Amino acid sequence: MERYTLIITEKPDAAYRIASALDLNGKAKKVEDNGVPYYVAERDKPIVVVPAIGHLYTVAEENIGRNYYPVFNFRWVPRYIAERGAKQIRVWLETISKLAQGADTYIDACDYDIEGSIIGYCILKYACGGKENVARRMKYSTLTKEELEQAYEKPLPKLDFALIEAGRTRHEVDWLYGVNLTRALTLAAKDWSGKYATLSTGRVQGPTLRFLVAREKAIRSFVPTPYWEIKAEIEIDGKIFEAEYERDVIETKGEVEAVLSACKGNDGIVESIEEKRFQQMPPTPFDIGALQSEAYSLFGYTPRRTLDIAQRLYLDALISYPRTSSQKLPPAINYEGILKSLSAVPEYNRFAAELLAKKELKPNEGKKEDPAHPAIYPTGNLPERILEEPERRIWDLVVRRFMAVFGEPAIRQSVKVCVNVNGHRFILRGRQTIKEGWLRFYEPYVRAEEVLLPRIEKGQQLRIVRVISEDKFTKPPPRYNPGSLLRKMEEVGIGTKATRADIIQTLYDRKYVRDERMVVTDLGFEVLEVLKRHCPTIVSIKLTRNLEERMDKIQANLEKRENVLSDVIEILKPVVEELKSKENIIGEQLSKAVRKARLEERIIGQCPICGTGTLMVLYSRKTGKRFIGCTNYFKKKCNAAFPLPQRGFVRPLGKKCPKCGWPTVHIRIKGKRPWNLCFNPGCPSKEDRT
């Protein structure tokens, strides 16, 4: 083959999209070399598009070994050198190196963000033999044919070196934190107990765990205090409406009884009516944090899951690049063209037509900007395959949000009616939408309560059906869930748009937290206790945020990578020395916590057969098979035993079966959809399925 242009992409799906868009006939040729796919496109000259599979290079220590720390000397190496199970990376890099030899032009077309820039830079520098300084850069926010052709015809003349430098620094800083602190904790526990368990922490993971522990302590130490609420049931035009007492909280029973006594048998007089109309502005376009929060609120999808789904939709050219912090939609994306394309979908047709009839399309934008990408928006392309339900939901959410930002403000009205009952005032509240505006575009996802009151006039006498009191207790602060924790991380400025979801998932994977409403486990408490006692700087939110700001400055050429790395090493040196000097104490503390955590993982709940024992996941000494058995078996008081799948992960749900009241477990087997299992052989739910 004659000399060609070599284009590097981040993922195989992106390589296919780019090659197909650039081929003059729209049909690039797929080739495989040792199982590594790449594509050949014909244009003014041949183009070879070869994908990575994410990061092919990583940070590793100079001397390979896992059983020592501190470690401050590092280098960038192929992942197969540093990681077990990454053997295919060697073949991948060999194929890229071979293809690089026949090229005379090099283009980095990886995602235009920190991670993509690092991936492309490392491949060009190491696998392609030092081509990072001669390569050009394709910059695009969607994988549509039009945008990819434009990005190819008008590439940036060089790589984004400031972004690369910031990315390198972030990876190196996080590696320094992670390798030293994780080894310190893991080796301390292993040396004391003789058993291995990964106990990780990191630059962002530690402060994030600190939020959760602080909230957990506030919940556990909370002492509820009693209070009372008073409500009146009022009849208007034959319908009953509930009115709240003028004071939200009554603190003594005597005062409650005095109000009830005064109101008994009396009618109410309408003392005042206040009507307020206000505009409810359209929402701002989605950035990744807002999309993750909305998807969690609406569908219960974790931030990690939402990001994975959005990434698939991006690779299918259905939405723009999702890892963005922007709330801006520039006119260059062609609002009109996108709406015209979406109008081919029956459920969007009416809304798209309405927006296209406007004199001007102007989105309601937010303040946040991202120099790399605009806010998330639908490309206008329609699905080329049947979307899975989660994909369809996220695509629909993005489409409707996009349309809603161009809508008119909604006009809402609130009504406050004050009813006097023998000197005591009760408030009736009404809410209604006067003009829908943008709400109808976003309708399935709008949470606007409508409370319509009948016509009421000042001085009108109303029949009080009854006045009642409710006993209440003050509630502790709510637990974080993955959505609210992500917002907290965003608010205080720790982590990045690309890493926050992974950090939250790591807390679950390490067993530091459990459940959707995030409960900190004893292991999570102990890890944070060790860090706070022996190295408080590691869980300092201020220090973490400061490092984030300095790494952002590298991207703006206002800070040097070498200075940041030097300061990080100076922070870590005394920390690891302290951890090493207290290794035995820390090891004992963590080992006991790990043992307790492993035991808790196996506890299913109270035995429904004997009523006094505890059901646990047990293992047969004879066969090694696992089953659920009662702890009273060892006391020869109960023979309850129930089979379990022998493969996969079993986790107690902490919930009872709604049909029979027995404890339930969650089963997850690789390659299968997870399910919740009631192991009661006589459960009515099993009869329902027969």
Residue range 244-265, pLDDT digits in tens? 999 988 999 999 999 999 999 9
With a CB cutoff of 8 Å and minimum separation 6, the contacts of 85 are none
Of all residues in the chain, the percent with pLDDT exceeding 70 is 99
DSSP codes, 418-452: EEEETTEEEEEEEEEEEE-GGGGTTGGG-----BP
Q: Are residues 146 and 215 in the same domain?
A: no
The stretch 330-359 carries a mean pLDDT of 95
Q: Are residues 8 and 76 in the same domain?
A: yes
Tokens of 397: 């959410």
CATH number, domain of 347, equals 1.10.290.10
Q: Are residues 110 and 232 in the same domain?
A: no
The answer to whether residue 311 sits within a structural domain is yes
Q: What is the pLDDT of residue 690?
A: 44
Q: Are residues 52 and 145 in the same domain?
A: yes
Domain, as residue range, for 239: 226-279+410-473
Supply the angle between the helices 583-602 and 161-193 in degrees, to the nearest 10. 90
Q: Are residues 30 and 145 in the same domain?
A: yes
The answer to whether residue 519 sits within a structural domain is yes
The answer to whether residue 543 sits within a structural domain is yes
| Number of domains the chain is built from | 5
Q: What is the pLDDT of residue 688?
A: 57
The answer to whether residue 350 sits within a structural domain is yes
The stretch 447-457 carries a mean pLDDT of 88
The answer to whether residue 526 sits within a structural domain is yes
With a CB cutoff of 8 Å and minimum separation 6, the contacts of 491 are none
Q: Are residues 292 and 270 in the same domain?
A: no
Contact 325, 490 (CB under 8 A): no
> Which residue in 57, 296, 321, 348 is the catalytic one?
321
Among left, alpha and beta (phi > 0; psi -120 to 50; other), residue 231 is beta
Q: In angstroms, rounded to a whole number, what is the distance separating the alpha carbons of residues 164 and 61?
A: 20
The stretch 420-441 carries a mean pLDDT of 94
Given a cut of 60, whether residue 453 has pLDDT beyond it is yes
Q: Are residues 418 and 396 in the same domain?
A: no
Given a cut of 60, whether residue 320 has pLDDT beyond it is yes
424-435 and 519-520 strand pairing: unpaired
Contact 50, 9 (CB under 8 A): yes
CATH number, domain of 52, equals 3.40.50.140
Q: What is the pLDDT of residue 371?
A: 86
Q: Are residues 262 and 308 in the same domain?
A: no
CATH number, domain of 198, equals 1.10.460.10
641-643 and 649-656 strand pairing: unpaired
Q: Are residues 313 and 274 in the same domain?
A: no
The stretch 189-201 carries a mean pLDDT of 86
Q: Are residues 494 and 574 in the same domain?
A: yes
321 is known as an active-site residue: yes
Which of 595, 615, 642 corresponds to the end of one domain?
Answer: 595
The whole-chain average pLDDT of the chain stands at 92
The stretch 544-573 carries a mean pLDDT of 93
Q: Are residues 275 and 295 in the same domain?
A: no
The answer to whether residue 182 sits within a structural domain is no
Q: Are residues 16 and 140 in the same domain?
A: yes
